[in-house]
Structure 1
């Protein structure tokens, strides 16, 4: 069920019977010369809506601007400051609690959001308002990702390329895959910006001239479909597990 497509009486019936919602989050930021700036939020919404379709759980509209100042040097990148993002997501999630939701999965596809979503989840749990957890698609299937790609690249690499080839192939500039590979670097390690145990970089541009890492020519839509199916299954399993938990068991442990 997609919230924005429903009438309020139909949603009232959902809230009377169910207590879980899926909230897709991503970013709008550069993903090299071959992928759209909406890569992360397209992927997040794809997973959330598919899991909602398979389970009947509620999927909210997508939060498509995230914490992305580390991509600011590249045209079109959008971002909000971390405190603003955290406050917005917390307020958004409290809306759901007002309607009767008491557990949320942040279906996330942008690494820059992770620590902030964890902080929001802690705030809400400490207030005993709602139990909200972050889920990152590639972290749910690490063995498959490693199996499919020799160098998967942490940003704009073959795993994200394959996922968009599967979900929105018309948005992929296939004629730029070699340029993406040759104009970037294979990995942060190869960029040489980790020195003596310190990460000396702050922005993507410190590591790579075109904003991406990995070998994008290793991507195919078929690999994207395999990852999408495997990770969707993980998300469905997580949602069903979470729905089964007594709410009191999800709240903080008492002081010893």
Structure 2
């Protein structure tokens, strides 16, 4: 059920019997010379729509700009500062709770959003407003990714390339796959990002000249379909589990005894 395509009476009927919403989030940032800047939100939106089509749950429009300042040296990258992103997502989430939603799954496809979405989820849970969790598609199927790719890469690599080949192949510049590999970084064991235990790089251009990692030539639409279906299965399982939980079991217990030994 896609919120933007429904009327308010249809949505009134939904929240009369359901209280779960899915929010897809990604970014608009460089993904190398071969993938569109909307890669992350395109993947998140496609997975969220596929899973909610199967379960009947509510899916919101995607959040298309995320926390991406580490890609700013590449043309077209847009971003919002982390506090702005957190406040926006929290405000959107509280808006959903006003309409009867009390559990939310953030279907996320951008690593830069992860910590901030988890913080928002904690805020909402700690005050008892809603139970919100961040879900990252590639973290749900790590064994399959390791099985199909020798060098999957954390950004702009074959896993994202294969996914976009499956959901929006016309947006992939397939003639640039070798250039993406040769101009990026395939050696993921010796990335010069840390030194003596400290993180010494802030921006992706400092460790990859064209901003991507992994061997993009390993990607195919057929592999992308396998990844997409496997990740969708995992998301469906999460939605069904969350929908079955009593809300009281999802929120924190009250303090066991704020004043031990006192009589009130």
TM-score range for the pair, normalised by the shorter chain length = over 0.9
1:196 Cα deviation from its structure 2 partner? 2.1
Aligned partners of 1:132 and 1:126: how far apart in 2?
A: 11
- In structure 2, the partner of 1:152 is 152
- Map Cα deviations across residues 101-141 of structure 1 (whole Å, 9 max, x no partner): 00000000000000000000000011100000000000000
Aligned partners of 1:216 and 1:196: how far apart in 2?
A: 31
- Map Cα deviations across residues 131-161 of structure 1 (whole Å, 9 max, x no partner): 0000000000000000010010000000000
Aligned partners of 2:71 and 2:26: how far apart in 1?
A: 14
Residue pair 1:34, 1:174 contacting (<8 A) in 2 also: yes
- In structure 2, the partner of 1:63 is 63
- In structure 2, the partner of 1:79 is 79
Return 5+ residue gaps in structure 1 as ranges. Answer: none
1:187 Cα deviation from its structure 2 partner? 4.2
RMSD (Å) for aligned C-alpha atoms = 0.8
1:255 Cα deviation from its structure 2 partner? 2.0
Normalised by the length of structure 2, the TM-score is: 0.95
Residue 33 of structure 2 corresponds to residue 26 of structure 1 = no
| Partner SS state of residue 152, structure 1 | coil
Which stretch has the larger CA shift, 186-195 or 228-237? 186-195
- In structure 2, the partner of 1:169 is 169
1:214 Cα deviation from its structure 2 partner? 0.4
- In structure 2, the partner of 1:208 is 208
Aligned residues: 256
Normalised by the length of structure 1, the TM-score is: 0.98
Residues 155/247 of structure 1: CA separation in 2 closer, same or farther (3 Å cut): same
- In structure 1, the partner of 2:179 is 179
Residue pair 2:188, 2:214 contacting (<8 A) in 1 also: no
Residue pair 1:157, 1:216 contacting (<8 A) in 2 also: yes
Return 5+ residue gaps in structure 2 as ranges. Answer: 257-264
Residue pair 1:104, 1:133 contacting (<8 A) in 2 also: yes
- In structure 1, the partner of 2:135 is 135
Structure of greater Rg:
2
Residue pair 1:153, 1:187 contacting (<8 A) in 2 also: no
